[in-house]
Amino acid sequence: MSHNSFDRRHYVIIPYAEVTNIEFNQILETDINTVRISIDGTKTFVKYENEIPSSVVNIEGRSQEYTHEEMIEILKAEEWVHQ
């Protein structure tokens, strides 16, 4: 099994309306302007390393935790990619 910088990285999809409840010092994005938004504008995701941050735990409607590989596949879906 290879180890790289993404092995400790986790991703959670959240409702975009909840992004203002995120403490950006707890995640790898730096501010609201650096999150990726779904095509319809209803979802975004955050990434972090190791344990899930407290501000992410408190988000209602958050998804399960995804690995880097899982998130790459999710982002290939129509809801994230302009066709």
Could you read off the pLDDT of 16-59 as tens digits, one per residue? Answer: 999 999 999 999 999 999 999 999 999 999 999 999 999 999 99
pLDDT band of residue 8 (cuts 50, 70, 90) is: confident
What is the per-residue pLDDT for 7?
79
User: If 0-12 CB within 10 Å is exposed, 13-18 middle and 19+ buried, where does residue 27 land?
Assistant: buried
pLDDT at 1 over 50: no
What is the per-residue pLDDT for 76?
95
Higher pLDDT, 2 or 39: 39
